[in-house]
Each structure stands twice: as C-alpha cells, then as structure tokens.
Amino acid sequence: MTSSTHTGRIALVTGANKGVGRAIAHQLAELGTTVWLGARDGERGRQAASELRALGHDVRFAPLDVTDEASIALAAKQIEQESGRLDALVNNAGISLAWHTPSQTPIDDLRATFETNVFGYVRVTNAMLPLLRRSDAARIVNISSVIGSLTAAAENHDPTGAFPDGQFPVILSHSMSKTAVNSLTVMYANELRAEGILVNAVSPNWVPTDANGNTGILSLEQGARMPVRMATLPDDGPTGTFTCSDATEEGTTLPW
Ligand SMILES: NC(=O)c1ccc[n+]([C@@H]2O[C@H](COP(=O)([O-])OP(=O)(O)OC[C@H]3O[C@@H](n4cnc5c(N)ncnc54)[C@H](OP(=O)(O)O)[C@@H]3O)[C@@H](O)[C@H]2O)c1
C-alpha cells in the first residue's frame, strides 16, 4: 500500500451520520476510499450517505448501533457480501452525557457511557476483525480524547490548549470512558502487531459538534485529519499510539 492513493480501499466509520464521524467519512471518501457510513438511525444514516454520494463519492449506509450485537453482526454481513473485506475501521460512535464531577455522577450515566464509548468499540472491533484480517494493510482507529489522558489530568494541564492551565475538566463518565479507550487501544495493538494490523487512539482535538454545543478550537475538517491519517498509514506506520489533530499535518503526540 502507498500513502498517496487509497482507491480500492474499504473503510467503516461508526457514528458517521454527523460530527467528527461524518467529517472522517467525507475525507476518506475524498481519497477514493469506499466508505461504509455506520449510523444507528436509518433516516439520518441514509441522508448523510446520500449527501456524500451526491458529491461523487462511494459512500454506503450500514445500519449499525454499537450497543446492539445483532445490528453489528448484520452490518458485518452486509459489508462482507458487498465488499468482501475491510481495510480500515474507525471506532467513532460516542455519547457525552451531562458532565458531572465524580461525587455527583449517577452510576447509570457511567454505565450508559461505557456501554457505547467502550463496550461499543470492543463489540465492533471483534465483529469486524475477520473482515480486517482479509486486508493486506488493515488499520483500526479508536477515537479518543485528551480528557482520557491520566497524565494530563494528574498535571492539571491540557497539552492541546483547549482548557486553560489548572482547569483540566473534572468529569467522570466521559473521561473514564476515554481512558478505557486508550487502554483497549494498546491491548489490541499488542495483540494484532504480529499480523500487521495497526491500532491507534486519536483525538480530533476540540471541534464543534452537537456533543459540545458546537464550540471548538479547530474546524471539523482539521479535527478529522489525524484520524484519517491513522486510517491510511503505510505499512511501516506506528501502532499503539495516542495522538491528536492540530493545525499541522503531523498532529501532536498526547501523554497517556
Ligand atoms: N467534538 C469534540 O470536540 C470531541 C473531542 C474529543 C473526542 N471526541 C469524540 O469524537 C467522537 C464523535 O463525537 P462528536 O463530537 O462528533 O459527537 P456527535 O456529533 O454527537 O456525534 C456522535 C455520533 O455517534 C453516534 N452514536 C451515538 N451512540 C451510538 C450508538 N449506540 N450506535 C451508533 N452510533 C451512535 C451519533 O448518532 P446519533 O446522531 O443517532 O445520535 C452520532 O452520529 C466521540 O467518540 C467523541 O468522544 C469529540
């Protein structure tokens, strides 16, 4: 595989009907990748896929709720029947419930957040691995966040600059879920290293989406760049890393 052409490659992006996932799907499609646009809602998913197809891209809707094993299995079957394999999986679908400090967090919020943000990544990865193993250059990108960085939290310092020094967010459910995403990224990277499957955690940085009241320090397009780069790594690319989009092509390495 070369890093300059991606025609013929096949990718799945979960939660891609809007926000970061849609921007990643769009950029992958612009590179010539066939993109399976995963979305839990039929109408929203079909609409987003047809809008990207109208721009001339090969984008196909896959109904996929990451909390539902049956829907994931059906999506895998659909991709297998139409595409035969997967070259890239971008685990992006996530929820962000109301932010609570640890002492105020309802346990049900923690449970629901993990169900989507953590168990969802594991479910989809395990279901798609047989298709990824048919690729000669498979890549897995796990969308994470700097708020999952234990080092940044312990130092009360945000290396991305989204939060002022000394004001690192003190939230529980979302932060813990992203720390778990970082952990599972390293575990999968180590398991799949010998097969040449590269697995990396990537933050889009702070970008405007419905999840954060459409505020941000980068545009959605800039935020999608590092995830796309990690989904299209050459064979000698890194695995088991944690990086973040910034205004440059290279992005920033984040502390675990
Ligand atoms: N925005 C940021 O600044 C930022 C920063 C760091 C990390 N991130 C990460 O980026 C990812 C995308 O977030 P976003 O900001 O783009 O938020 P968003 O605009 O709210 O998009 C979230 C997407 O995930 C989908 N989703 C939620 N639960 C799902 C499920 N059970 N099955 C399938 N899809 C599901 C949503 O579908 P519906 O439309 O049906 O709800 C939506 O398409 C998340 O992992 C988030 O943690 C975002």
Per-10-residue mean pLDDT of the chain, 256 residues long, equals 64 98 98 98 98 98 98 98 98 95 96 98 98 98 98 96 93 97 98 98 97 94 98 98 94 97
CATH number 3.10.290.10 is the correct assignment for the domain at 10-253: no
Long-range contacts of 43-52 (CB under 8 A, 24+ apart): 44/17, 44/18, 45/16, 45/17, 47/17, 48/16, 48/17, 48/18, 48/22, 52/25, 52/26
pTM confidence score: 0.97
Residues with CB under 6 A from ligand 1: 14-15, 17-21, 39-41, 44, 64-67, 92-95, 116, 120, 143, 145, 203-204, 206-207, 209-212, 216
Of ligand 1's listed atoms, the one at least distance from the Cα of 174 is 47
Rounded distance from Cα 91 to ligand 1 centre (Å): 10
**Domain residue spans in the chain?**
10-253
